[in-house]
Structure 1
Amino acid sequence: MDTLNDDLCYQALKTRDARFDGRFYTAVLTTGIFCRPICPAVTPKRGNVRFYPSAETAMANGFRPCLRCRPEAAPGSPAAAGVHTTVARAVRLVDEGALDNGSVADLAERLGITDRYLRQLYKRHTGATPQQHAQARRLLRARQLIVDSNLSMTEIAEIAGFSSLRRFNHTLKEAYGNAPTAFRRGLKPPLKATQNGADDLFLPAHDDLVLFLRARPPFDSEQLLTFFRARAIPGLEAVGAHHYARSLCIAGQPGLVICRPSDNPPGVQVILRGPARQTILEVSARIRRLLDLDADLPGISEHLAQDPLLEPLVARHPGLRVPGSWDRFEFAVRAILGQQVSLSAARTLAGRLVARYGRPLPDDLAGGTGITHRFPEPAALVGQPLNKLGMPGSRADTLARITARFAEPGFAEQDGNTLLAQLAPMRGIGPWTLHYLALRGLGDPDAFPASDLGILKASAHLGGPRDAKALTRHAERWRPWRAYAAQYLWTSLNTHPPRQETPS
């Protein structure tokens, strides 16, 4: 474990400190069970425990998950954060199902290394092999779906990657000591809303898949909805008082996903509608990134609050998240469309693009929601007259070049640094776009668009630096969480951040 030592872990275990939930797991040698640090069980003796950075690693070392604290329901583990970039990408791909239908050799080829070297790196940095990680993740996700969703056992077995229901039952009983049905206390099949409010269409219906994803507290759901409401693309997204909804297409399966954030308990109810319900594991992973559910906010806040410039903002917004993106290509397009224009103008341009080039959502999914199309794939935009959308010709050319690159096989799957390095030389891609793409599109917690007009305005208003160079120097004290500092500054304006692109 790179940032926590055993003594600190044991102290957090004794106090059941919720700030460490998901950051490490305690394995008890005398029982063969591992737990979250918040488990209500009697604290074991110091000599009887081992600490692991992830639930998968604990399972790979022969320990069974606790049935009381449910490790599979913990906020996502940041175990891969800060380690070798290739390992971090490998962990993400395994979590997204790269080994469900592929081999370690296939995964290594995607990463550009040999399968032997991948196994060595993976074991060294995570404590488990890629296969052990994938198997443990499959078991943990299966139990989460059993307990927290309304899926049938047959559907869960298929989604979790088991070849048969019999194999599913046997494997879970072997891992947990009980048959899967013993854990079934999931959500009751939701009834179709009968009231006549506009929000009814965004409540669970009979055929919807419903799952609850927990967030690491504190969690400011209102600020998230406010953020997405200001940026919702007409025809693609809809944001109400209590929901964020959008169309999607994964593995060729269209769907409508509705997120209903909650402060108590902290997390989000996910409603997945349509054929894409079979892709719930990937959908849930994307939602965790989109809503930044796994951020270790207590640690981040403590670090940033040491600067008097940010301290009052941190105190005012204890659960502030850095919103992510649904898809790298989609966000790159949004960033280009947002250069040197207002949020309203950027939404209008994006809405035109979606309506003209996006594939229509099936009527049974769209019905009355205002969500009518999916975001276009890169191939659908290649060669199209993008200048007719109503943007300057130079920006249309930049969008065409970006689209052509993302249409290349494997381009979007590169690690973040490589992707940014290949975008940087393009005409029309300046520092603002690169930093903003890193911050939200790639989820870099240390990205910082210092030249952004909103950030500079907020800094000046708070008595901080007034120009980009001075602010960049000042922001060194915020590392490695400058993206969160940027979000605090934007939020302090109580308006939508102006956008700026450095000419290139």
Structure 2
Amino acid sequence: MDTLTDDLCYQALKTRDARFDGRFYTAVLTTGIFCRPICPAVTPKRGNVRFYPSAEAAMANGFRPCLRCRPEAAPGSPAAAGVHTTLARAVRLVEEGALDTGSVPDLAERLGITDRYLRQLYKRHTGVTPQQHAQARRLLRARQLIVDSNLSMTEIADIAGFGSLRRFNHTLKQAYGDAPTAYRRGLRQPAGNTTRHRPDAPFKPARDDLVLFLQARPPFDSDALLAFFRARAVPGLEAVGEDYYARALHIRGQSGLMICRPRTDQPGLQVILRGPARQAILEVSARVRRLFDLDADLPTIADHLARDPMLHPVVTRHPGLRVPGCWDRFEFAMRAILGQQISVAAARTLAGRMVAGYGVALPEELVEGTGITHRFPEPEDLAGQPLSTLGLPRSRAETLARVITRFAEPGFAELDGNTLLEQLATLRGIGPWTLNYLALRGLGDPDAFPASDLGILKATAQLGGPADPKSLIHHAERWRPWRAYAAQYLWAELATHSLRQETTV
């Protein structure tokens, strides 16, 4: 654990400080159980505990997850995040099931390193091997699906990669000390047509939908996120209401409809997945966490940024503000280029034309009543198409074509963030603003900062700060490593005062 000492962890444990939820886990030697720091159980004696940076590390050392505080439901916070870009990507790929069907050497080859080096990185920064991480994650995800979804045990065994229901039951009983059915909460299946008369019925759970709950690290401003997505919703692809975000998706060759609704009882989301893509729920949940920035340690970030007198009042006015992510790197690259030097509304119109013209239509029974009609086109759907017919300047259409060609190359979309940006930077029509915005939302870089953005410059000038990019870059050094969040605070502040000249998509 690079930043937290055992003594600090124990102090956080004694106070049940929610800011540390997901940052460490407490293993109790006398019980063999490990917990989140917010667990309501009696605080164990100092000499009886060990601290681990991840739930996987605790499980790899022989401890069982607590059934009361449910470590599998904690906001995800891999110890590797921000420490090493290659390892961060490896953790993401393992989270999405890379070792369910492949080996560690396969994963290492995909990352462009040796399997020995991958194991060393993993052990040094997470405390476990890649295989231990994958096995523990499978167990944790399985239990989350048992408690927080309406899937059958057979479906969960299949999705979590256990191969058979018998192996699933045996493994979970061995890991948790009880049969899976003993701790199932059991979500009620909503009646098929009881809400059909309501205007938002298509966005409520239906009988055959998969429903999953995802927690967010508090505070969580879901209203700000929905407002952000609502202003940028692409016609035919997305629909955003007062209390939901919905979109078409296509994963592992299967299409589906996803609906995210903020929870009212605690910070987090209810995720509704409709259609064949429900089999990819683990990958969907990982993408949703990034899209809604559920795992951000907002108290730490806010405390750091508030040290700047210029940002202090802004941070105070916007508690729980997140950096909205993206659903797919290629989709976001297209949207970012379409939105260069035009308004948000104009960018939405162009993206809607792209979806309608080249996206794949979804079955009517899947999207009935939602206004969603197509999934976003893949690179191969757009390659060679006359994109100037969308109403673009010729130079912008040529830039799109160049980026489409690169994303059509096998493995390009999976490159680590720095390499991908370096490759895109060589293409004509891709400038610093586009690269920084791709890093900020498309790649989830918490330190990305588009200093030349007109909205950011206007906001800092209104707050008495720098009014030109060079001075702002110098001033923003004090915001590292959270400059992306500083940018989001500045955009939010400008929007609050109706001053923002929207330049982002």
TM over 0.5: yes
- CA drift of 1:500 comes to 7.7
- CA drift of 1:200 comes to 1.0
3-state secondary structure, aligned to 2:419: helix
> Is 1:371 aligned with 2:375?
no
In structure 2, what is the equivalent of residue 77 of structure 1? Answer: 77
In structure 2, what is the equivalent of residue 271 of structure 1? Answer: 272
Letter in 1 for 2:502: P
Distance in 1, matches of 2:167 and 2:94, equals: 21
In structure 2, what is the equivalent of residue 476 of structure 1? Answer: 477
Distance in 1, matches of 2:398 and 2:461, equals: 35
Residues 343 and 504 in structure 2, CA contact (< 8 A), matched pair in contact too:
no
In structure 1, what is the equivalent of residue 178 of structure 2? Answer: 178
Counterparts of 1:317-466 in structure 2 under 5 Å? 317-466=318-467
In structure 2, what is the equivalent of residue 118 of structure 1? Answer: 118
Residues 261 and 267 in structure 1, CA contact (< 8 A), matched pair in contact too:
yes
In structure 1, what is the equivalent of residue 59 of structure 2? Answer: 59
In structure 1, what is the equivalent of residue 503 of structure 2? Answer: 499
Residues 452 and 498 in structure 1, CA contact (< 8 A), matched pair in contact too:
no
In structure 2, what is the equivalent of residue 250 of structure 1? Answer: 251
3-state secondary structure, aligned to 1:197: coil
Distance in 1, matches of 2:311 and 2:216, equals: 24
Residues 221 and 262 in structure 1, CA contact (< 8 A), matched pair in contact too:
no
5+ long unaligned stretches in structure 1: none
In structure 1, what is the equivalent of residue 92 of structure 2? Answer: 92
> Is 1:32 aligned with 2:32?
yes
Q: Deviations over 1:208-235 (max 9, x none)?
A: 0001100000000100000000000000
3-state secondary structure, aligned to 2:374: coil
3-state secondary structure, aligned to 2:459: helix
Letter in 2 for 1:108: A
Residues 455 and 497 in structure 1, CA contact (< 8 A), matched pair in contact too:
no
Distance in 2, matches of 1:121 and 1:194, equals: 51
Distance in 1, matches of 2:154 and 2:353, equals: 41
Counterparts of 1:141-180 in structure 2 under 5 Å? 141-180=141-180
3-state secondary structure, aligned to 1:292: coil
**CA-atom RMSD in angstroms:** 1.2
Letter in 2 for 1:36: R
Change (3 A) 1:499 1:379: same
- CA drift of 1:112 comes to 1.0
In structure 2, what is the equivalent of residue 197 of structure 1? Answer: 198
Residues 337 and 349 in structure 1, CA contact (< 8 A), matched pair in contact too:
yes
Residues 344 and 504 in structure 2, CA contact (< 8 A), matched pair in contact too:
no
Residues 339 and 347 in structure 2, CA contact (< 8 A), matched pair in contact too:
yes
- CA drift of 1:47 comes to 1.4
Q: Deviations over 1:333-378 (max 9, x none)?
A: 0100000000010000000000000000111112121100000001
Distance in 2, matches of 1:162 and 1:275, equals: 20
Counterparts of 1:191-230 in structure 2 under 5 Å? 191-192=191-192, 193-194=194-195, 196-230=197-231
After TM superposition, the score normalised by the length of structure 2 is 0.98
Letter in 2 for 1:409: P
Distance in 2, matches of 1:251 and 1:297, equals: 33
Residues 56 and 136 in structure 1, CA contact (< 8 A), matched pair in contact too:
yes
Letter in 1 for 2:373: T
The count of residues paired between Structure 1 and Structure 2 equals 501
After TM superposition, the score normalised by the length of structure 1 is 0.98
3-state secondary structure, aligned to 1:99: helix
